[in-house]
Amino acid sequence: MNQDFLNQLLTGVRDGKVDVQEALEQLKDFTTKDLGYATVDTHRELRTGYPEVIFGQGKTPEQVAGIIQFMLTLDNNILATRVTAEMYDKVREIYPDALFNPVAKTIAIRKKEIPPPSTYICVITAGTSDLPVAEEAAVTAEIFGNRVERVVDVGVAGIHRLYNKLDVIRRARVNVVVAGMEGALPSIVGGLVDKPVIAVPTSVGYGANFGGLSALLGMLTSCASGTSVVNIDNGFGAGFLASMINRL
Amino acid sequence: MNQDFLNQLLTGVRDGKVDVQEALEQLKDFTTKDLGYATVDTHRELRTGYPEVIFGQGKTPEQVAGIIQFMLTLDNNILATRVTAEMYDKVREIYPDALFNPVAKTIAIRKKEIPPPSTYICVITAGTSDLPVAEEAAVTAEIFGNRVERVVDVGVAGIHRLYNKLDVIRRARVNVVVAGMEGALPSIVGGLVDKPVIAVPTSVGYGANFGGLSALLGMLTSCASGTSVVNIDNGFGAGFLASMINRL
Amino acid sequence: MNQDFLNQLLTGVRDGKVDVQEALEQLKDFTTKDLGYATVDTHRELRTGYPEVIFGQGKTPEQVAGIIQFMLTLDNNILATRVTAEMYDKVREIYPDALFNPVAKTIAIRKKEIPPPSTYICVITAGTSDLPVAEEAAVTAEIFGNRVERVVDVGVAGIHRLYNKLDVIRRARVNVVVAGMEGALPSIVGGLVDKPVIAVPTSVGYGANFGGLSALLGMLTSCASGTSVVNIDNGFGAGFLASMINRL
Amino acid sequence: MNQDFLNQLLTGVRDGKVDVQEALEQLKDFTTKDLGYATVDTHRELRTGYPEVIFGQGKTPEQVAGIIQFMLTLDNNILATRVTAEMYDKVREIYPDALFNPVAKTIAIRKKEIPPPSTYICVITAGTSDLPVAEEAAVTAEIFGNRVERVVDVGVAGIHRLYNKLDVIRRARVNVVVAGMEGALPSIVGGLVDKPVIAVPTSVGYGANFGGLSALLGMLTSCASGTSVVNIDNGFGAGFLASMINRL
Amino acid sequence: MNQDFLNQLLTGVRDGKVDVQEALEQLKDFTTKDLGYATVDTHRELRTGYPEVIFGQGKTPEQVAGIIQFMLTLDNNILATRVTAEMYDKVREIYPDALFNPVAKTIAIRKKEIPPPSTYICVITAGTSDLPVAEEAAVTAEIFGNRVERVVDVGVAGIHRLYNKLDVIRRARVNVVVAGMEGALPSIVGGLVDKPVIAVPTSVGYGANFGGLSALLGMLTSCASGTSVVNIDNGFGAGFLASMINRL
Amino acid sequence: MNQDFLNQLLTGVRDGKVDVQEALEQLKDFTTKDLGYATVDTHRELRTGYPEVIFGQGKTPEQVAGIIQFMLTLDNNILATRVTAEMYDKVREIYPDALFNPVAKTIAIRKKEIPPPSTYICVITAGTSDLPVAEEAAVTAEIFGNRVERVVDVGVAGIHRLYNKLDVIRRARVNVVVAGMEGALPSIVGGLVDKPVIAVPTSVGYGANFGGLSALLGMLTSCASGTSVVNIDNGFGAGFLASMINRL
Amino acid sequence: MNQDFLNQLLTGVRDGKVDVQEALEQLKDFTTKDLGYATVDTHRELRTGYPEVIFGQGKTPEQVAGIIQFMLTLDNNILATRVTAEMYDKVREIYPDALFNPVAKTIAIRKKEIPPPSTYICVITAGTSDLPVAEEAAVTAEIFGNRVERVVDVGVAGIHRLYNKLDVIRRARVNVVVAGMEGALPSIVGGLVDKPVIAVPTSVGYGANFGGLSALLGMLTSCASGTSVVNIDNGFGAGFLASMINRL
Amino acid sequence: MNQDFLNQLLTGVRDGKVDVQEALEQLKDFTTKDLGYATVDTHRELRTGYPEVIFGQGKTPEQVAGIIQFMLTLDNNILATRVTAEMYDKVREIYPDALFNPVAKTIAIRKKEIPPPSTYICVITAGTSDLPVAEEAAVTAEIFGNRVERVVDVGVAGIHRLYNKLDVIRRARVNVVVAGMEGALPSIVGGLVDKPVIAVPTSVGYGANFGGLSALLGMLTSCASGTSVVNIDNGFGAGFLASMINRL
């Protein structure tokens, strides 16, 4: 439920084209929709510019499908993250055109095209194993109307691989840098560009990685300025924030 | 084995209606019952006002059923938490009317109705994934004789969802607030009500959540007064304490 | 040493106004200046758009003054963070107009005015004790050419204090939210605005705060989108990134 | 600014005894008072039944005195916790009758007597070194209108010391149990009473105590029901919550 | 290979009953036996009074059986801990009389009877779920020649259950106390007896238990004297040490 | 107040030598003595065989002296640990013969000689910096009636230093091994003796030592059997337990 | 792509034996090869003396096989670590002579023989369960052209087992010491040899081992000089570094 | 006491030039020297090629001077680390030519010149604040007979500073890389050289640095091969190991 819809409805009422009772009915779920197991925040787009995104983890396939079924009654693109193939099967029953990205573990439903700005977001991964998190970031940024460039496997052990791609990195409006293990790549990128860097630690690694802790602490204590950090493996959060900055 | 039973027995002895030998027999298990693998605390209701509750995790289905079999000889409602469907199957064999709540993972046996006080407990969840813990709290409070109101999925990312339910929250005698991730909801609720808030951190989340640690530390360091915290995912403990406060 | 200087020098050489030998001399320290105890990155402004900032902690007053003395030979504003009064005394000897901010613990030397963009940055603190970190952020943003609005002591225990300031917060191009203890304020702000939120955990608190860990984990696991996090007490990093975003 | 004051003011306006302009002036600071470095929550008593309490740690003596000076214009008792003797000196200049408790590290100003209920709160300490935290709890409960009984140094190494005091403990409406080291005392008390137990871990100890972590984790994982936990060394929080429960 | 064997061999050589070449052959593996994947410490009994015990975890069934096969050539009782049913199947093939304890997860082979001293060891568990660890302790103590008394499920939530068994506890020469969750039971026992207490934290619990950390820290910081701690879930270590003390 | 005293008193009453009223007076403080800030456990010797020991840390000099003043009325040796020179000054005022050990930080008052058994305790330190903790253990063991042998600075970096002292170590009835840093010494000693080893981790070290954590974890996970662990820097606990075992 | 190849190519061009166009084609992938999901660092051998090694964990079997397929076009030996049997099956399809080591979990392809230096590397394990990590180290060292001696199961609980092998250990040019649990073995070895010791903590153990943390911290805080540490379970890193030192 | 001395002594005895009694006297302290508070390992040079080094921290000035006084009777260079000016004053009294390095916090006494090999060690620091740790490494390497090159303040935020020094780095036989904060520099260096890299994490930083933990974990999980790690701030250990490798 977005600004356009609201303007249209209120104009309709003012012009006598929409009955007050009917308008009330439509406005009833204006700020939240109670589904029993979930209270969908239908007001979020008005408030933050973005519709609510479904976090699949910890929900049943039925709950994910139920929330999507309700959101289909609104006029927004829909994104669900951290989904399983089982969830996708349930969703496909109610919306066959839903797209499943098995690497990013996302379901996307595009109901309208959002024209991207001329600038783009660059999503960089330190290693091949970081791809699922990077892809979650890229998919998120794309569904919210952004062009995304991908730079893959340019970690610090062979830093010349990064330099080969410096052009595409430096021309981006914002860089999302995804890295596990020691998580040093955002520090390097941050020292080479004059644009914001969003660092995403991943749980890729073993031993003293402690589930992503080493990369997280490394990124937080980075001595390169212009860098900020999101949660371990939080590709969605990085893609969302990158979209916000790219579309400012 | 509660106060009523004890009064009746002793009165019976005094009035010559109960033989001393028979009374001794009945009193033998007065404070504990040794089952070999468990020492049931039959004295707890007298001492704390509440019968012992069975913690299913780490026990075999046979052990759970065995403890329930003994407790059925007493005149109390019975609650087992953190149970599996397999445990329920064993229990149903000895007591077909036992109720299994698959969300809360509880088995409940109601042998007597406990009249609830006029006040009620409100159980609030930040997200859909927190429901199992919240349901454990609600089921626990209900079997100990309380009316429970449920408010679902009103986390801080869309704080207006909470405001829509402020009436039911403010009128409760005590609020149980269940939240994972950053666990901020109890702080908000605690700043809006003049009644105790019991905060329950959940292990819902990933990455820097570290199995519920982020929510736990957040709730412990909350700057809202009137809030206290129970263990991560401890819906039972919250429901029990809420019952104690509601029935004061 | 910035782009303008470089253009001017090379044009001078081309036009025969600057002798090649002289140009070489000036270019000698073009990318780094070795001071024995420090290798000043004179190339940083060209590369990242911002001159190097001095991190005072762990340096001797003589080292801080020595680095500033060299940087005064360049045509940039100078910022030193985490400085002591003793450091300031040394700096004042070589540059009497240096400004010391005793709350933010910064030394600032303004050699040129940077015209700010029409948009502004909002720096929000949860409590009075968070002021030093917030002030470091504000001072940093200001010296890099930004207008800053300050909103003080609007933590979640009295959330209406935040709502009173919602206008100034919502109109900002980027919000810096500084909070200790449970660190819940960025989650609330992030759910109310459609612009990036930079969360700064502080070490304000005690006990289960563990030196800022509770606020840090809370902010990282925030369920509000559009939020990213910098190191505990890192006001500088937040102000720097906010400047980058505000001046995009 | 409490309910009584508000009723009186509005009645005065209705009855023409208070000029509207004058009422507006008085209502201007109704919900918050901006002091520059602090936004005092003057609305809290209406909302939560309790006036705001000043947390001294991290504030300057001038800030503490400034906030108290403003709060003196309202008709409430005033409590400041985690204060220093230096803060007290500043406060005494503006209000000579302020009371300083050097063990609890509190400043209290009693402007009105709050009649306590017939029930009382029992504050129990495991060891002598836990006294400062326990005293903070007791002082807090007393200023909010409660009778407090103190039981000192009855830790689990000599559990009979606790049994000697069982009467005063069992008759309390709520028990606050303060313990450091392994923090086992709340588990014992929780197993002996039928009333809520508020557990306060303290940082008393050394080595594997890790600043109170051992007591905190022990209390959170307690197998005694009816127990909840506040932050390490948070005597204020425990006293506040105990007051809330005792005055239900 | 123990003292008796060595005496006999050397006496045999002295008395001309054993050929030197034959003695050399027997002595070849006197201190270690190299199995390729393991270096069995055949000298341990001479040095520490106890033969080596096999730690099954992380070994293949073939390796466990292979080590046992070699140890059968010596004249000692054999104990393997942390074994699986699959390991037991392999061992049974080479020694059908080997005993498997499915609760303790041990394999025991008794080749000689060790006469126990008159004193005994008491193994106490806080809860039913602690039984596997307690049983590992008891089995270990028994195979090394000790009488063991078991006291089950007497945790601090119902402390009178402990008092009912105080006689058997106080008469033991050493107590092994096994507890998970907050791990408070050893503190209580330690305050009631005048004999050593060996505390065994278990990983029983959830949430803030953090895999046994809460019990471990609680036991280490216990304010009851005469208590020491072994690793989380280390029933074997406790049983071994208890045997050492009981047989002093 | 020990068994002897009690026998004498009761015999006196029986024989008419002690007036009942007088006996009552003497028995009033039989189990505890309430000093306001402390509840002295006068019953402990009867229960555990050892009088209560004063833990100085966190107490005021006045409180330490006050507790000692009361304990002087009983017929026991007195030990206070973790004391300061300031505490000692207070104690000397009331008992000039009190002994202060500035390395161990103990105050000892010997009112009676306890005849030691023929066996002895060996206290071993890995390094010179571990001496204060080792001395606390030795002083504790000595005041409770034990002979102590000291072996100093024989850490694993030069393991032959240990072998030089193997005789005195192997002949001890129990070994206390004090080590910081990696805490490996108890593992080595445990593999060489057939008697209990009490491992004491110390906070000696830096960096990844994390306040003694490295030594603590190392000792807990030791693969040498017969070893148990006390809290970091807990020399008292080790000395106390060693005394218990040596005097069995 | 190594130095030899480069010399040959350039000489060929100089001598007119290689066409420039052809040389360009061969040089195209000189520093990196982009496979879409991976950017292979073909320049590494020139830069660091060693070809890139494939880290299998987190990659799909297809990705591992794809990278190997490309690397087969170069003239290097190939090593992949942390591989599964499933990965090996894919690799065998494209290169039947690939060798799989099921203990070390490595795939090795030897395309050329590297003559080892006269010195050798000694790989020592504390226990049988440490073998997989030790084998990863040995296999790595061997494929890079080193002779390796293995010493198995000589942990500190029976330290004489180590002394039996002292000759082979002392004659090595560098020792790799692999140990879990308390990780004390490198300290002992470091105190006995005059050559570098590379310590490898393993996650072998349970409880306070916390996934290898105890061994890691123990090795880092070792008081034996000449020792350095690699990540938990990082046999590859140790074997690689040992090779570097052995071939200096 | 080194190999030369021993040869000379034994030859003297063989040739009748040294009396047996005199030789015995000299050999008495051959392996250890007991000073009461320390057992000096006089045998270490024979065993490990290096004399014992004094770790000052935790020792009294008297103890440090006492150990040095004894070591002066031997024919070795002497190094003490982590010393204070107060310790130096004590040492100067007995040996006026002792050298104090106030940055490295070391005392050095050179009694003989050790000819360095032709290769050298390069000590690299990420920032100015890391200098004390780097200097400890350099001083250690120098006293053991090595040439050291220093490269200062070339951290990853301005990575071109490192490239400017690549020649001196690549020609070193071993690199010691000292870095705090995110500790990324060793990863970069490790990817650029074909020689061993010794990584030294420092406690330089704040917040999520947690006393050096971020740098430590980052270095341990580094994806650059050929790198190993010593304890946080352990400059001595790094310099010692570098010397061992450089002098192989």
Average pLDDT over residues F221-227: 88
Using CA atoms, how far residue A200 sits from A178, A225, B60, B207, E85, in Å, is 5, 15, 43, 11, 44
The nearest alpha carbon in chain F to H204 belongs to: F207
Using CA atoms, how far residue B138 sits from A45, B244, F144, F208, in Å, is 33, 13, 55, 45
* Backbone CA torsion sign across E33, E34, E37, E43: positive
What is the C-alpha separation between G232 and G205, in angstroms, rounded? Answer: 12
- Please determine, for residue B80, whether its predicted confidence score (pLDDT) is greater than 80: yes
DSSP-derived letter for residue H111 is S
Q: In the structure, do chain A and chain E come into contact, i.e. share 3 or more CB pairs under 8 Å? A: no
* Nearest Cα residue to H208 out of F159, A10, C217: C217
Mean pLDDT per 10-residue interval, chain D, length 248 residues:
63 75 61 77 70 88 93 88 96 95 95 91 94 96 96 85 89 97 92 93 92 94 91 96 96
* Residue predicted with more confidence, E114 or B104: B104
Q: Do G158 and E41 touch (CB under 8 A)?
A: yes
Q: In the structure, do chain G and chain D come into contact, i.e. share 3 or more CB pairs under 8 Å? A: no
Residues of D in contact with C127 (CB under 8 A): 55, 58
What is the C-alpha separation between B29 and E161, in angstroms, rounded? Answer: 11
Q: Do A204 and G58 touch (CB under 8 A)?
A: yes
List, for residues F162-203, the tens digit of each pLDDT value. Answer: 888 888 999 999 999 999 999 999 999 998 898 999 999 999
Burial class (CB in 10 A: 0-12, 13-18, 19+), E177: buried
What is the C-alpha separation between C53 and C77, in angstroms, rounded? Answer: 10
- Please determine, for residue C22, whether its predicted confidence score (pLDDT) is greater than 50: yes
Least confident of F20-34, G64-78, G189-203: F20-34
Q: Quick one: pLDDT band at residue H12, thresholds 50, 70, 90?
A: confident
Q: Are E227 and F237 in contact (CB under 8 A)?
A: yes
Q: Do D128 and F63 touch (CB under 8 A)?
A: yes
Using CA atoms, how far residue F174 sits from A39, B111, F190, F239, in Å, is 65, 57, 11, 10
- Please determine, for residue H26, whether its predicted confidence score (pLDDT) is greater than 70: no
- Please determine, for residue B10, whether its predicted confidence score (pLDDT) is greater than 80: no
Q: Quick one: pLDDT band at residue F1, thresholds 50, 70, 90?
A: very low
End-to-end Cα distance, chain D: 21
Cα pseudo-dihedral E92, E95, E97, E99, rounded to 10: -50
In terms of phi and psi (left: phi > 0; alpha: psi -120 to 50; beta: otherwise), the region of G198 is: beta
Q: Which two tokens stand for residue G77?
A: 């030996």
Tell me which of D223, D228, D229 to substitute to probe the interface with E (most E C-beta atoms closer than 10 Å).
Answer: D223
List, for residues B131-174, the tens digit of each pLDDT value. Answer: 999 999 999 999 999 999 999 988 887 788 888 888 999 999 99
What is the C-alpha separation between F213 and D81, in angstroms, rounded? Answer: 33
H-only helix segments in chain A: 3-14, 20-27, 44-48, 61-71, 85-94, 131-143, 160-164, 166-170, 185-190, 213-220, 235-246
Q: Which two tokens stand for residue A99?
A: 């797209």
Which pTM value belongs to this model?
A: 0.90
pLDDT value of position E31: 65
Residues of A in contact with C239 (CB under 8 A): none
Mean pLDDT of chain E: 88
Interface residues on H facing G, Cβ-Cβ cutoff 8 A: 47-50, 53, 55, 173, 190-196, 198, 216, 220-221, 223, 225-232, 236-238, 240-241, 244-245, 248
* Residue predicted with more confidence, G175 or C16: G175
pLDDT value of position F6: 62
Average pLDDT over residues F14-33: 68
- Please determine, for residue E200, whether its predicted confidence score (pLDDT) is greater than 80: yes
Rg of chain A on CA atoms, in Å: 20
Q: Spell C115-152 as b/e; 16+ CB within 10 A means b.
A: ebeebbbbbbbbbbbbbbbbbbbbbbbbbbbbbbbbbb
pLDDT value of position D198: 97
Q: Which two tokens stand for residue B206?
A: 């990933």
- Please determine, for residue C13, whether its predicted confidence score (pLDDT) is greater than 50: yes
What is the C-alpha separation between E117 and B11, in angstroms, rounded? Answer: 51
Q: In the structure, do chain E and chain F come into contact, i.e. share 3 or more CB pairs under 8 Å? A: yes
With contact defined as 3+ CB pairs under 8 Å, the chains touching E are: B, D, F, G
Q: Do C160 and D32 touch (CB under 8 A)?
A: yes
What is the C-alpha separation between B231 and B219, in angstroms, rounded? Answer: 11
Average pLDDT over residues B169-196: 94
Q: In the structure, do chain D and chain A come into contact, i.e. share 3 or more CB pairs under 8 Å? A: no
Tell me which of C43, C209, C231, C234 to substitute to probe the interface with H (most H C-beta atoms closer than 10 Å).
Answer: C231
Q: Are D123 and D176 in contact (CB under 8 A)?
A: yes
ipTM confidence = 0.88
Residues of G in contact with E34 (CB under 8 A): 152
* Residue predicted with more confidence, A185 or C21: A185
| Cα three-residue angle D116-D119-D122, rounded to 5 degrees | 100
What is the C-alpha separation between H130 and B98, in angstroms, rounded? Answer: 67
List, for residues H187-235, the tens digit of each pLDDT value. Answer: 999 988 989 999 999 999 999 999 999 999 999 999 788 999 999 999 9
pLDDT value of position A163: 83
With contact defined as 3+ CB pairs under 8 Å, the chains touching D are: B, C, E, F
pLDDT value of position G1: 43
What is the C-alpha separation between G70 and G72, in angstroms, rounded? Answer: 5
DSSP-derived letter for residue A193 is -
- Please determine, for residue G10, whether its predicted confidence score (pLDDT) is greater than 80: no
Tell me which of D133, D166, D206, D213 to substitute to probe the interface with F (most F C-beta atoms closer than 10 Å).
Answer: D206
Tell me which of H29, H30, H41 to substitute to probe the interface with F (most F C-beta atoms closer than 10 Å).
Answer: H41
pLDDT value of position E30: 57
List, for residues H138-197, the tens digit of each pLDDT value. Answer: 999 999 999 999 999 888 877 888 888 888 999 999 999 999 998 999 999 998 898 999
Residue C151 C-alpha, separation from nearest chain A C-alpha, in angstroms: 20
pLDDT value of position G28: 53
Q: Quick one: pLDDT band at residue G42, thresholds 50, 70, 90?
A: confident
DSSP string covering B6-67: HHHHHHHHHTTSS-HHHHHHHHTTSS-EE-SS-EE-TTHHHHHSS---EE-TTS-HHHHHHH
List, for residues F83-101, the tens digit of each pLDDT value. Answer: 999 999 999 999 999 999 9
Burial class (CB in 10 A: 0-12, 13-18, 19+), F140: buried
Q: Which two tokens stand for residue B245?
A: 């406060």
Q: Are F54 and F64 in contact (CB under 8 A)?
A: yes
Q: Do H129 and C233 touch (CB under 8 A)?
A: no
Q: Quick one: pLDDT band at residue H1, thresholds 50, 70, 90?
A: very low
List, for residues E18-47, the tens digit of each pLDDT value. Answer: 776 676 566 555 567 778 788 877 776 766
Interface residues on A facing G, Cβ-Cβ cutoff 8 A: 127-129, 131, 152-154, 157-158, 160-161, 164, 204, 206-210
Q: Which two tokens stand for residue C236?
A: 């500088």
Interface residues on B facing E, Cβ-Cβ cutoff 8 A: 31-32, 34, 36-39, 41, 43-44, 47, 52, 55, 57-59, 63, 201, 203, 211-212, 216, 231-234
Task: Please give the share of chain A, as a percent, with pLDDT higher than 90.
Answer: 63
Q: Quick one: pLDDT band at residue B219, thresholds 50, 70, 90?
A: very high
* Nearest Cα residue to H156 out of H104, H226, H222, H103: H222
| Cα three-residue angle G234-G236-G241, rounded to 5 degrees | 105
Q: Spell G95-125 as b/e; 16+ CB within 10 A means b.
A: eeebebbeebbbbbbeeeeeebeebbbbbbb
List, for residues H56-69, the tens digit of each pLDDT value. Answer: 998 999 999 999 99
Residues of H in contact with C31 (CB under 8 A): 160-161, 164
Q: Are H225 and H193 in contact (CB under 8 A)?
A: no
Q: Do F233 and D129 touch (CB under 8 A)?
A: no
pLDDT value of position A159: 80
DSSP H or E stretch at residue F233: none
Cα pseudo-dihedral F16, F19, F23, F24, rounded to 10: 130
